[in-house]
């Protein structure tokens, strides 16, 4: 009897074509679920008959309470090598193996710049006007050359974002709790003395710190108040880093020029969520990791993880 594998959140219906699943088809029946399962009860009911789950990034949480309701579950494959929403201790106690895959930092770097450029030049507003008979030229773009780019978090992704800023002729500053002047200089950036200095002095601020309790609410109402009224904020990192209610208030009150957001407190966003209609907001449905190359990596290595587990020698184990 074959094991059953659920591939979660295959919204675009591309999991099957992104890897060669045929190498495990004799031992595993693979089912792609294209609709998001919201809430523990829905997950427990839908996944009760599955032995393996492939979960996309950190979209679905697996707390101990859910794992206890999935008696058949033997293997979780998480795309990426860091997942903060799986209860690893509970998984281990129940004999559930957890494995990961590699994930490229290139797609979020590129999306960060798509959002930043879209904001700076009013791309969506101007395109909409052009296609609907609206005014010819209704915005005045913000210049990047000579502007200050503030990078909050200068790690694997933030460092690459900083270097692109230099290519546009921007002055780049960076801040994170443990950032040194030497590390900042290596990325062509100047280390800001404080988070507050970075925010107050930047024309564009982009967020690239990891999620977790240490960074939760790192940018709240007080921090947003430091931004210039002509400044833009971009967050392709984690929703928890920027207080969503405070950001909505700043956008509605016109206290910042705009924001580009790819991550949200609730995903997928409900139809009537205020982030769907906020002014001065350029938003995308968590596309930071969504690229053909990344999906090939995710699902090809998910197949490898499954094969290795079946052979009794799991690879890329988490945490």
Q: Could you say which of 29, 58, 190, 267 is catalytic?
A: 267
Q: Are residues 78 and 134 in the same domain?
A: no
38 catalytic, yes or no?
Answer: no
What is the C-alpha separation between 15 and 260, in angstroms, rounded? 28
Digit-coded pLDDT (tens) for 124-157: 999 999 999 999 999 999 999 999 999 999 999 9
- Among 120, 213, 195, smallest CA distance to 153 is for 195
Q: Are residues 17 and 139 in the same domain?
A: no
What is the C-alpha separation between 242 and 257, in angstroms, rounded? 16
In the beta sheet, which residues pair with residue 317? 99
What CATH code is carried by the domain that includes residue 24?
A: 3.40.50.720
Q: Are residues 271 and 295 in the same domain?
A: no
Q: What is the DSSP string of 31-99?
A: EE--S---SHHHHHHHHTT-SEEEE-TTSS-B-HHHHTT-TT--EEEESSS--SSB-HHHHHHTT-EEE
Digit-coded pLDDT (tens) for 208-232: 998 888 899 999 999 999 999 999 9
144's tokens = 């990047």
Q: What is the pTM of this model?
A: 0.94
Domain range enclosing 129: 105-283
Domain count, the chain: 2
255 catalytic, yes or no?
Answer: no
Is 33 within a domain? Answer: yes
Q: How confident is the model at residue 76 (pLDDT cuts 50, 70, 90)?
A: very high
pLDDT average, residue stretch 25-29: 98
Q: Are residues 9 and 131 in the same domain?
A: no
Q: How confident is the model at residue 40 (pLDDT cuts 50, 70, 90)?
A: very high
Q: Are residues 134 and 225 in the same domain?
A: yes
Q: Are residues 123 and 255 in the same domain?
A: yes
Digit-coded pLDDT (tens) for 183-204: 999 999 999 999 999 999 999 9
252 catalytic, yes or no?
Answer: no
Q: Are residues 275 and 295 in the same domain?
A: no
Q: Are residues 18 and 131 in the same domain?
A: no
Q: Could you say which of 126, 160, 238, 304 is catalytic?
A: 238
């Amino acid at each position: 009897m074959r094991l059953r594998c659920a591939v979660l959140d295959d919204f675009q219906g591309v999991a099957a074509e992104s890897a060669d699943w045929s190498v495990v088809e004799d031992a595993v029946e693979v089912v792609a679920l294209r609709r998001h399962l919201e809430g523990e009860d829905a997950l427990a009911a839908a996944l009760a008959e599955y032995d393996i789950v492939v979960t996309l990034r950190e979209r679905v949480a697996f707390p101990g309470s859910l794992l206890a309701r999935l008696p058949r579950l033997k293997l979780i494959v998480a795309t990426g090598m860091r997942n903060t929403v799986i209860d690893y201790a509970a998984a281990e106690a129940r004999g559930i193996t957890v494995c990961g895959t590699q994930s490229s930092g290139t797609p979020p770097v590129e999306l960060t710049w798509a959002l930043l450029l879209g904001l700076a030049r009013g791309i969506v507003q101007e395109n909409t006007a052009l296609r609907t008979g609206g005014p010819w030229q209704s915005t005045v773009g913000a210049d990047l050359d000579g502007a200050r780019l503030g990078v909050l978090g200068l790690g694997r992704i933030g460092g690459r974002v900083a270097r692109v800023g230099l290519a546009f002729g921007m002055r780049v500053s960076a801040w994170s709790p443990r950032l040194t002047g030497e590390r900042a200089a290596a990325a062509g950036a100047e280390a800001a003395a404080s988070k507050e200095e970075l925010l107050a002095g930047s024309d564009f601020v982009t967020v690239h710190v990891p999620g977790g309790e240490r960074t939760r609410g790192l940018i709240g109402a007080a921090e947003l108040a430091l931004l210039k009224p002509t400044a833009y904020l971009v967050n392709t990192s984690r929703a928890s880093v920027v207080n969503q209610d405070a950001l909505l208030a700043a956008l509605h009150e016109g206290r910042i020029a705009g924001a580009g957001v790819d991550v949200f407190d609730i995903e997928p966003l409900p139809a009537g969520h205020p982030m769907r209609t906020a002014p001065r907001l350029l938003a995308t449905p968590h596309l930071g990791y969504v690229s053909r190359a990344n999906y090939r990596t995710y699902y090809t290595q998910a197949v490898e993880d499954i094969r290795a587990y079946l052979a009794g020698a799991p690879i890329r184990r988490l945490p």
